[in-house]
Structure 1
Amino acid sequence: MFGKYPHDRIVFFSDAVFAIAITLLVIEIKVPTHEAIHEHGVFGALGNLLPLFIGYGVSFIVTALFWRAHLQLCTLVTSFNSKLIWINIILLLFVGLMPFSTALYSENFGDNGAFTFYCLNLVAIGITNVFLTRAIISTQQLRSTLSGKQIHWLQGRALAVPAIFLLCIAITMVSPLTGRFAFVLIFIVQKIGDTMIAKSAKAATEVSVVEEG
């Protein structure tokens, strides 16, 4: 009776959660008090907030990446069933936790435990995204429309994110500063993979045109 659900309502609801979470990130950055400005000057007071700005910037970019990935996945869905909805809800549960984990990390910038909790929040989002990706592949018959390489990369692209944040935790144990910025590997890995898949698809298209000719 309730096997399928309105596509637009689910996407709009998901977008709203992402938008609220990404907006709440900035709330933790309080405007310096008059006392702080009088004592340190405007730029000195702002300098004291640098960890908060770094946490905000990193979380904004990472949350935007998850939103972009979610947006791309939704374009592959023709209709949502209960399985997809519940996986999506769990993903949004962890997205909604981002302002808290970011504040904990930013206000305890030098503490490895706070950074680990922050990374585990991102790992949770990433792993749930992997399950969502696999569920979409299995329920939307994508194997009939995408090549084997595209299917594998679709899953590998999603898996790269939690794997890299787990790597960040490990690196932090040896080099805290390096671990905090190792997330840039996500951009590198995904860019390389996207380029390889694009070249493969182009080559396959050229071969098909030649064969038809």
Structure 2
Amino acid sequence: MKTGRLEAFSDGVLAIIITIMVLELKVPEDGTFQALNHLIPKFISYLLSFIYVGIYWNNHHHLFQIVEKVNGKILWANLTLLFFLSLIPFSTAWMGENHFEQNTVAVYGINLFLCAVSFNIVQKAAMDSEGKDSLIAKAIKNYTKEMASTALYLIGIAISFFYPKISLILFFTVAIIWLIPDRRIEKQVKH
């Protein structure tokens, strides 16, 4: 099976996720700038989550640019990724609504960690399907970014119970690490 339907479905789900997140930003009834103050935690949460959804969309696009066909294992792995991504609006809203309280930041971090793990599973399923001599296997030899991200998520989750704002800094750090699209795949596409 070609990748087109998987990509189209995933793009649609990611668009809906972003739409749901922005709908959580309720317009204040008061027309003053001070009325926006209570939205600051919600907006920070939204901004971070928007960046993450954008990163996943970007990396998903790059990944399926070099995958030639999908099978049932890839489809189920992708659905698992979409499931955890679809929880981002909930964890984002809960964290922003409660001004980055400990438990909310921990749940947000767990959500991000599960998204990362499930993306790695999609990547692995695609590599297994395409074979050891495929473009994807050649592109993804180094897992430094994946390992560093996983470590920062786990540290962030553990720290969130004591210093939730430091956890947020760690989560922003992971986002910064991934803002640049995965060059490993781009290099293989150029060859």
Interval of TM-score (by shorter of Structure 1 and Structure 2): 0.7 to 0.9
In the alignment, what sits opposite 1:110? 100
Distance in 1 separating the partners of 2:22 and 2:151: 27
Distance in 2 separating the partners of 1:187 and 1:115: 15
Q: Secondary structure at the match of 2:140?
A: helix
Q: Deviation per CA, 1:5-34: give whole Å up to 9, x if none.
A: 34211100000001110121111111112x
The alignment's C-alpha RMSD in Å is 2.7
Alpha-carbon deviation of 1:146? 6.3
Aligned match for 1:66, one of 56, 75, 98: 56
Unaligned runs of 5+ in 1: 206-213
* Kept after mapping to 1: 8 A contact 2:149/2:174: yes
Distance in 2 separating the partners of 1:8 and 1:146: 17
Q: Deviation per CA, 1:59-93: give whole Å up to 9, x if none.
A: 10011111111111111210110000000011111
Distance in 2 separating the partners of 1:144 and 1:80: 14
* Kept after mapping to 1: 8 A contact 2:67/2:136: no
Write out aligned runs for 1:34-49 (5 A). 37=30, 42-49=32-39
Alpha-carbon deviation of 1:174? 4.2
* Kept after mapping to 2: 8 A contact 1:127/1:159: no
Q: Which amino acid aligns with 1:64?
A: G
In the alignment, what sits opposite 1:9? 5
Point out which structure has higher relative CO (alpha carbons under 8 A, 6+ apart).
Answer: 2
In the alignment, what sits opposite 2:45? 55
Q: Secondary structure at the match of 2:69?
A: coil
In the alignment, what sits opposite 2:17? 21
Report whether the alignment pairs 1:151 with 2:147. Answer: no
Q: Which amino acid aligns with 2:27?
A: V
Alpha-carbon deviation of 1:162? 3.6
In the alignment, what sits opposite 2:121? 131
Alpha-carbon deviation of 1:142? 4.8
- Corresponding pairs, count: 187
Alpha-carbon deviation of 1:99? 0.9
TM-score by length of 2: 0.85
Measured at CA, do residues 180 and 188 of structure 1 come closer, stay the same or move farther in structure 2, by a change above 3 Å?
A: closer
TM-score by length of 1: 0.77
- Higher Rg: 1
Measured at CA, do residues 144 and 83 of structure 1 come closer, stay the same or move farther in structure 2, by a change above 3 Å?
A: closer
